[in-house]
Amino acid sequence: MMLLDIYEPGETPLPHAGDSDRAAVGIDLGTTNSLVAVSVNGRPEILRDALGDGIVPSVVAYLEGDDEPVVGRVATRILEQEPELVVASVKRLMGRGTGDVASVGGHLAQKIRDDGQGGMVRLDVGGRIVSPVEVSGEILRTLRQRAELVLGKTVDQAVITVPAYFDDAARTATRDAARLAGIEVLRLVNEPTAAALAYGLDQGAEGLYAIYDLGGGTFDVSLLKLEKGVFQVLATGGDAALGGDDFDRALAEQLIQERGGGIAAGDVKPVLAAARRAKEALTEADTTTLDLEFGSRATRHTVTRAGFDALIAPLVARTIAAAKAVLQDAGVGPGELSGVVLVGGSTRVPLVRAEVTALFGREPLSDIDPDEVVALGAALQAEALTIGSDTLLLDVVPLSLGLETMGGLIEKVIPRNTPIPVSRAQDFTTYQDGQTAMAIHVVQGEREMVEQNRSLARFVLAGIPAMVAGAARIRVTFTVDADGLLTVSAREALTGVEARVEVKPTYGLTDDEMTGMLRASLENARADVVTRLLAEARVDGRRLILALDAALAVDGDLLSAEERAAIEGAKSALETAMTGDDREAVVAATEALEAAGRPFAERRMDRNIRRALSGVDVSRLESRLQAG
Ligand code: ADP
Ligand code: MG
């Protein structure tokens, strides 16, 4: 715990037993599989069905004449027989327009329809028209029901994870799906961040971590920076159309060849299913056999681990190349990482583990089940958000948000990597005499010119009284909430006329666009990384000194003269270091001062808790406990 993290009496987030009949859970809403977990006293656990199965396949079947769709394992079996009634991999379509469908990757069985309004995707499932939000809502409803059954409590709050590259539209769609399922989203957390939390990396050493996530149909690699308990996603990459399903397909093709080729369309799914079982068996065994029976012919096949490895080697190589590219983009060498985390069922495959180990030159963290790690991290975060905790997890704005100004230039209002939630305002004025309206164009991106960035929304502030140019005062406020959703409002100071827009873009960014924008932003960021790091270190130092001075003024009596002298000595050493250009020296002096002040912080904490408990602010404390 840092010296700064002392809560004022009445604000102390004391852990308490919690409402006994309600629980908040963590949900990994995956492309292939979804899971729900709950954490009690910092120990997260997956919620399983009666057979001990924690996984709910993200598959929804709409049977004819049945209003309630079927979700999970049962739907997977229907998928093998009547694929046209079943929706799988719907996550790829969240927040996407019909124009994006070609680029979402993977294999979509359903007919895509337009919603007839904003060009959003609708699916035609055996004649029934459903939206991706509704389908995800069904998966979430199933997870919620499972949690309620297992816990015997009402479950109406959750932390839900989303890929780091999910844009505003996809995040909004995820929230909407939760609402349909009767779940209040406490926060959307990035999947790699959740995995890092499950490993407790937020409690440990600061540094850079790579998260390698190979699921069923997608590969994501992220670079996280941990600093003072705050994770930043520095870079993301991967391949939206590469995963364990491709391993299945490669093996299935080989099996069909072994039989001498030729297969009816209806027999493909069962062969794929057999290939998947063989693949999973080979994770433990060196060899496995399987029987195929179709086209009035039965054949038996033996697959060895070595043979399977040879089949998938080119696919694994693609993930390694993508991971290298992300490191390169961020200007980080594999040796600079503090750790590597494996996520996703396909990282069980031994060849994948071996290649990842070789790339990073170290054993990845893999003690936690890679299928479960994201949900477990989400559960920890749900617990922290509902009962209070001394770890404060912040996400950041991934791309800068700003406004178009004169000459097509961008004025950044919220720079990238600003922790959220955040609200920032900036004042503008009119540039023409008698101007009564102002067009406001909200953009996202790092580049200097409007056309190089992404347009998020446009709106007009009308009703400005006619004045000479430069006389009106228009305050534009950008607010990003804890889920990363943006609201922009504009208000004229004299008249109070106001206009606002909630930014929910109709179309999502394609993965290529996102990668390109992040790459551009990283290139900019690298140019002045040294100056920025020094500036940040100085800011940290200054904040610590200010907090310490304030604390000494209130609770200085807790210290002996010697202890006080030690703190003052460390403080002036830090002040000296801050006048120089040596970042390492500033960081070291900050840490030394923190260490010198730690006993003081602990004593203050004790005193504050005692004050809080002895009734100074009991009424407020109680109302907090009830609210929690
Ligand atoms: P997603 O994040 O896309 O929802 P998951 O992380 O649940 O997906 O990964 C699902 C993939 O993991 C499937 O392709 C599945 O076959 C694969 N998988 C699960 N268990 C094993 C195993 N023991 N060996 C190899 N692959 C596995
Ligand atoms: Mg996943």
* Within-domain flag for 503: yes
pTM for the full predicted model: 0.64
List per-block mean pLDDT (blocks of 10 residues) for the chain, which spans 628 residues.
Answer: 30 40 94 96 92 95 84 89 88 84 61 70 88 95 95 94 86 91 91 92 84 94 83 83 94 93 83 94 97 89 97 97 91 91 97 96 94 96 74 60 78 78 82 82 77 78 82 87 78 84 51 52 49 72 83 89 92 93 90 89 78 49 39
3-state secondary structure 544-604: HHHHHHHHHHHHHHHCCHHHHHHHHHHHHHHHHHHHCCCHHHHHHHHHHHHHHHHHHHHHH
Is residue 390 flagged as an active site residue? no
CATH number at residue 466: 2.60.34.10
218 lines ligand 1 (CB under 6 A): yes
Catalytic site residue from 28, 138, 446, 617 = 28
Q: What is the CATH number of the domain that holds 542?
A: 1.20.1270.10
Contacts of 30 (CB under 8 A, 6+ apart): 58, 91, 215, 216, 374
Decide if 202 is catalytic: no
Asked if residue 517 is part of any domain, the answer here is no
Does 83 map to a domain?
A: yes
Look up residue 474 and give its two tokens. 């228009």
The pair of structure tokens assigned to 138 is: 């069904």
Catalytic residue list contains 448: no
The answer to whether 548 and 355 are in contact (CB under 8 A) is no
Q: What single-letter amino acid sits at 590? A: T
Q: Does residue 152 lie in a domain region?
A: yes
> Is residue 444 lining ligand 1, measured as CB closer than 6 Å?
no
- State yes or no: cis peptide before 15, omega within 30 of 0: no
Q: Are residues 139 and 2 in the same domain?
A: yes
**Backbone angles phi and psi of 495, in degrees to 5:** -95, -20
- The atom of ligand 1 lying closest to the CA of 345 is 12
pLDDT computed for residue 498 by the predictor = 84
The answer to whether 504 and 172 are in contact (CB under 8 A) is yes
pLDDT for 279: 98
Task: Specify whether 19 is located in the same domain as 141.
Answer: yes
Clarify whether residues 505 and 593 are in a common domain.
Answer: no
Does one domain contain both 158 and 44? yes
Does residue 594 belong to any structural domain of this protein? yes
**Residue-level pLDDT at 628:** 33
Closest Cα partner for 396 from 338, 483, 476, 455?
A: 483
d(CA 314, CA 548): 56
If asked whether residues 26 and 111 sit together in one domain, one would say yes
The count of residues in the chain is 628
Among the three residues 358, 390, 422, which one is the final residue of a domain in this structure? 390
Q: Which two tokens stand for residue 416?
A: 């990238």
Assigned domain for 4 exists: yes
Return the DSSP state at 363.
P
Q: Closest-lying ligand to the alpha carbon of 312?
A: 1
- Asked if residue 195 and residue 57 are part of one domain, the reply reads yes
- Bridge-based pairing of strands 154-162 and 184-190 is parallel
- Asked if residue 456 and residue 408 are part of one domain, the reply reads yes
Give the pLDDT score at 623.
Answer: 41
Instruction: Please check whether residues 279 and 336 belong to one and the same domain.
Output: yes
- Residue 91 appears among annotated catalytic residues: yes
Structure tokens at 213: 């996530």
Torsion of CA 165, 167, 170, 175, to 10 degrees: 100
Q: How many CB atoms lie within 10 A of CB 566?
A: 18
Residues 54 and 179 in one domain: yes
| 18 alpha carbon – ligand 2 mean position (Å) | 30
Residue 28 resides in a domain = yes
Q: Label the pairing between strands 409-414 and 287-294.
A: unpaired
Closest Cα to atom 22 of ligand 1: 280
Could you tell me if residue 520 is inside a domain? no
Do both 54 and 183 map to the same domain?
yes
534 and 601 co-located in one domain:
yes
> CB neighbours (10 Å) of residue 294?
16
Number of independent structural domains in the chain = 4
The CATH number covering residue 114 comes to 3.30.420.40
Mark whether 133 and 35 lie in a shared domain.
Answer: yes
Could you say which of 138, 167, 191, 280 is catalytic?
Answer: 191
Q: Whose CA is nearest to atom 13 of ligand 1?
A: 216
Cα–Cα distance list, 448 to 397, 454, 480 (Å)? 18, 12, 22
pLDDT at 119: 72
- Domain hosting 85: range is 1-199+370-390
State in Å: Cα 408 to ligand 1 middle.
Answer: 47
pLDDT the model gives residue 455: 80
pLDDT attached to residue 511 = 47
